[in-house]
Structure 1
Amino acid sequence: MTTMAPATSVDDSPTGDEMLGARVRGLRKARGLTLTQLAEAAALSHPFLSQLERGLARPSMASLERLARALGTSRVELIAASEPRRTDADAEPSFVLADEGAIGPYAEGTARLLADGPRRFEPLEFSGSNAAPGDHYIHEEDEFLTVLEGTIVISFGPFGERRLTVGDSVYCRSGTPHRWHSPDGSPYRLLIVKELVHGSVDDGSQGDT
């Protein structure tokens, strides 16, 4: 009598590196960039970026920051993309409690992601105290911002700048350069809601397109 070996289950779910690579690839394609163009913008090598998009390489924090800026996103959002997500079939509400949510660098401060699972926009809580404005960010998604604590001066490049205090809000359209800072270096806190880019997860196809 022949004894059959027990069946082994194979986990086909993507790894964190593969999910990060898919997110980078989707953002790159949504921006209309080739691998070469993104590699140049982020000061990374073409072969390394190709491996990263396929989940075969892991970037350092410095490389991830350059990549995030070149894509008009943030390091915390890219890192969060590598974490397991709920499926679209899971319709239950997703709760993020006060001591939860991915936290990491965002622009000149720190952001905490306020939602998990499938979603159509990205709500974040941003904390900072930077007196220096930093670089303007430009991305393809619309963005809403309201001041929860403190005061900021927000610049829109050719559209000038405005001083915002608690309760003030602004809606920024796609492609508008923007950056903000504290006029005296005091701490401030913002609620930011970003539109999620379409095509951020693709079919996994490769190629310098």
Structure 2
Amino acid sequence: MTTMAPALPADDPATGDERLGAHLRGLRKARGLTLTQLAEAAALSHPFLSQLERGLARPSMASLERLARALGTSRVELIAASEPPRPDESTHPTIVRADEGLVGPYAEGSARLLAEGPRRFEPLEFTGANAEPGDHYVHEEDEFLTVLEGSIVVSLGPFGETTLEVGDSVYCRSGTPHRWHSPGGAPYRLLIVKERVHGTPDPGEGET
């Protein structure tokens, strides 16, 4: 199983850094945030964030986690955005075996990406055992989850909360606050499918 290393992919570091920077910038723009606003939300300096977006700096795992939470995404999704593109495979099916797939922190647990290469959505296998719900996540992408093992209590912000058992599902529309936990800390496993944001800024766009 592929695990998250404490650095971005090293086969072509500069290119990987540039891809990550473009993705961060695209997410920030999609969220309607300025560099200053995102820097404040992620507790990072404005100059450092500017360098990140231009591919001139490499974030630590701690910095990447703060950015992920500020942008309503996860470290594993940000790392995936820095992977090399695979244009030659764009029309071919891709297979991820049970012991494959990028693995990394996601919300209060961990997730494994279930697809690679060009894709329109992000399928993830999530595992957790958190007794505390943590912070609500809010993002512009729709998100679907279904319970594969165990049970969870899902909080949907102003829409209240409900318990989901094996086979139960929930679909969250864009902007819906959501978080989940397992009372008592019992392990659980979910299938999560998110819309994928392509973090490519408009050509010629300024650094705002």
Please confirm whether the aligned pair reaches a TM-score higher than 0.5, indicating the same fold: yes
Alignment partners' CA distance in 2, 1:35 and 1:166? 42
Larger radius of gyration: 1
Alignment partners' CA distance in 1, 2:202 and 2:33? 17
Q: Secondary structure at the match of 1:15?
A: helix
Contact 2:114-2:124 within 8 A present in 1 as well: yes
Corresponding residue for residue 199 of structure 2:
200
State yes or no: 1:106 paired with 2:106: yes
Q: CA RMSD for the aligned pairs?
A: 1.7
Deviations 1:161-183 (A, max 9, x none): 00001000000000000000011
User: Cα offset for 1:119?
Assistant: 1.1
Structure 2: runs of 5+ lacking an equivalent: 1-11
Alignment partners' CA distance in 2, 1:21 and 1:88? 23
Where in structure 2 are the equivalents of 1:38-77 lying within 5 Å?
A: 38-77=38-77
Corresponding residue for residue 163 of structure 1:
163
Corresponding residue for residue 78 of structure 1:
78
Contact 1:152-1:180 within 8 A present in 2 as well: yes
Output the TM-score relative to the length of structure 1. Answer: 0.90
Alignment partners' CA distance in 2, 1:15 and 1:40? 27
Alignment partners' CA distance in 2, 1:40 and 1:88? 40
Alignment-mate amino acid for residue 134 of structure 1:
G
User: Cα offset for 1:85?
Assistant: 2.4
Alignment-mate amino acid for residue 155 of structure 2:
S
Taking only the aligned residue pairs, the percentage that are identical comes to 80
Deviations 1:90-136 (A, max 9, x none): 31101111111100000000000011111111100000000000000
Alignment-mate amino acid for residue 24 of structure 1:
L
Deviates more, 1:80-89 or 1:129-138: 80-89
Alignment partners' CA distance in 1, 2:145 and 2:90? 29
Contact 2:89-2:117 within 8 A present in 1 as well: no
Q: Cα–Cα, structure 1 residues 152 and 98, in superposed 2: closer, same or farther, change >3 Å?
A: same
Alignment partners' CA distance in 2, 1:35 and 1:178? 25
Where in structure 2 are the equivalents of 1:112-191 lying within 5 Å?
A: 112-191=112-191
Q: Secondary structure at the match of 2:207?
A: coil
Alignment partners' CA distance in 2, 1:69 and 1:128? 17
Structure 1: runs of 5+ lacking an equivalent: 1-11
Aligned length: 197
User: Cα offset for 1:205?
Assistant: 4.2
Alignment partners' CA distance in 1, 2:90 and 2:120? 15
Alignment partners' CA distance in 1, 2:60 and 2:204? 24
Contact 1:154-1:180 within 8 A present in 2 as well: yes
Alignment partners' CA distance in 1, 2:60 and 2:86? 27
User: Cα offset for 1:195?
Assistant: 0.8
Contact 1:26-1:202 within 8 A present in 2 as well: yes
Output the TM-score relative to the length of structure 2. Answer: 0.90
User: Cα offset for 1:208?
Assistant: 2.8
